[in-house]
Structures are given as C-alpha cells and as structure tokens.
Amino acid sequence: MPDTSPTAAMLVIGDEILSGRTRDANMHHLAGELTKHGVTFAEARFVSDNHDSIVAAVRELAARYTTVFTSGGIGPTHDDITADAIAAAFDRSIDVRDDARTILEDHYARTGTQINESRLRMARIPEGASLIDNPISAAPGFTVENVHVMAGVPSIFQAMVASVIPTLAGGPPLLSQSLTIHRGEGDIAGPLRQLAEEFSDLSFGSYPFQRDGAFGSNIVVRGTNGGRLDEAMTRLAALFEQANA
C-alpha cells in the first residue's frame, strides 16, 4: 500500500555545524514533532555557509518534498546569508520589510537596546514571504512557498517549529513497537525479510548491539495502522520464540 503521508526534509546550514564546533540538536526535535503530526521526515542535509550550495539544496528539496525546514544563518552577522539564498532560490527580491522592522524596533525598545544596521539585517525578508513568530528574541523567521526558514539556536528553532507545525497538513501519527532478539543479524535476516514482505504496509528496522560478548538486535516496526502493527509484532515474537526453541 503506497504511503500518502505528507513528507518533509530539513536543511541544516552553517560552517559551525560541519566543523564540529556546534552539535546540531534541531533535527532530533523536528523529527519528533513531525512524527507526532503524521508527517514523514524523509531527508536531512547539511550545507556550509555557501550561497550557491544553499540555493541548489533548497530548490531540490522544495521540489521533492511537501515541506522543507531550514535552520541557521538568519542572524545579524555577515555570514548569515540564508535569507538572501532563499530569495535567490525562488527568484524573489529581498529587503528590510516594514512589519519585520517594527517587530525588531519594539523588541529593542523594550530591552533598551539600540537598533543598528546589523540588527536590521534580521528584518530583511524575501518578497511575498510570511513571517514566523519568534517569542524568544523577536527576530522572525519566514516561509516562502513550502520552505520554512528558522533560526539555528535550539530554543528559538523549537519555538518557531511550534508555531508552524499546526499549519501543516498531517496524516495519521506514526506508531512503533520494538522487540529485542538475542541473536545475530545473520540469523534473523531471512525470517525478518519474509515477514517484512508479508507486512509490506509496515516498516521493519533491525538495530544490532553487542553486550557482554553477546549479540542481539532491536527490531523496530513502524506504521500508522495499530491493528496491523499488533499483528506483525505477535507474528514476530512467535517467529523467534520458535527459532529459539
């Protein structure tokens, strides 16, 4: 049975991620939120702060998936080039926009901070984009067509995701069950493949481990139909009980 769930991809942008200076936490958070909303998280990519690389990746992902999330590169410094690259990817102009500027001016007035040219960079929004609320530090993200452009700071990214997720068309939540089998993958691969073929509407994953010299695998079965999932897990348990007998 073909999977008709909406799909999503993520583009993580930044030299600091690829250099290992910063550990990405946003992909893990996004995956969990999309799963709860019934959106299949199908791909994640990492690119450096390179204009052409961002443009190419955004165009490809936007054409392939229902929705795309980006993180990183929308701050006030010279290397924050994501907004310009998104504008270029969709052939749109970009400039300081009045509503985004007002949000920043109000925020900095409340905090007693002087707004300057660098901070105004965060009010540069591609033509026709809609703003994504940022309740943490005010500087908005934005959405162009099916691409949601968000900050890389985890607390801000999470707040932006919380405002975007309810606007997405979702599908049935993805359910999962697991079973630990104390045998090597070579022993279970054949029977597991046959079961996966029989339950082709479900996803079967095998994740091997070794503890205290003993081999085993955690078998995770995923799907949107709870009844089928229960049936598959019953068969799986019975299959390997027989094999262990």
Identify the structural domains of the chain with CATH numbers, from first to last. Answer: 7-167 (3.40.980.10), 175-244 (3.30.70)
3: confidence class by pLDDT, cuts 50, 70, 90: low
Q: What is the pLDDT of residue 218?
A: 87
User: Quick one: average pLDDT of 183-194?
Assistant: 83
Please give the order of strands across the beta sheet that includes 67-71: 40-47, 7-13, 67-71, 147-150, 141-144, 130-132
Report how far residue 34's alpha carbon sits from residue 198's, in angstroms, rounded to the nearest whole number.
27
Q: C-alpha distances in angstroms, 96 versus 121, 130, 133, 145, 198?
A: 7, 13, 17, 19, 56
Task: Measure CA 38 to chain center.
Answer: 13
**What is residue 244's predicted lDDT score, i.e. its pLDDT?**
47
**pLDDT-derived band at 62, boundaries 50, 70, 90:** very high
Residue 144 in tokens: 């162009």
- pTM of the prediction? 0.79
| Tokens encoding 173 | 């939540």
Would you say 156 and 137 are in contact if contact means Cβ atoms under 8 Å apart?
A: yes
Sort 62 into a burial class: Cβ within 10 Å, 0-12 / 13-18 / 19+: buried
Helix (H) and strand (E) counts in the chain: 9, 11
Q: What is the mean pLDDT of residues 48-77?
A: 96
Average pLDDT over residues 114-125: 93
Q: Which residue has the tokens 């897990």?
A: 233
Please state at what angle helix 154-164 crosses helix 26-37, rounded to 10 degrees. 20
Mean pLDDT on 31-46: 93
Is a pLDDT exceeding 90 seen at residue 60?
yes
Is the CA virtual torsion 143, 57, 42, 152 positive or negative? Answer: negative
What tokens appear for 193 in the block? Answer: 């493949």
More confident residue, 17 or 5: 17
Give, to the nearest 10 degrees, the angle between helix 51-64 and helix 82-89. Answer: 50
Report in angstroms the alpha-carbon separations of 213 from 15, 21, 85, 182, 244. Answer: 40, 35, 51, 11, 18
**Which H or E element spans position 141?**
strand 141-144
The pLDDT of 3-26, averaged and rounded, is 90
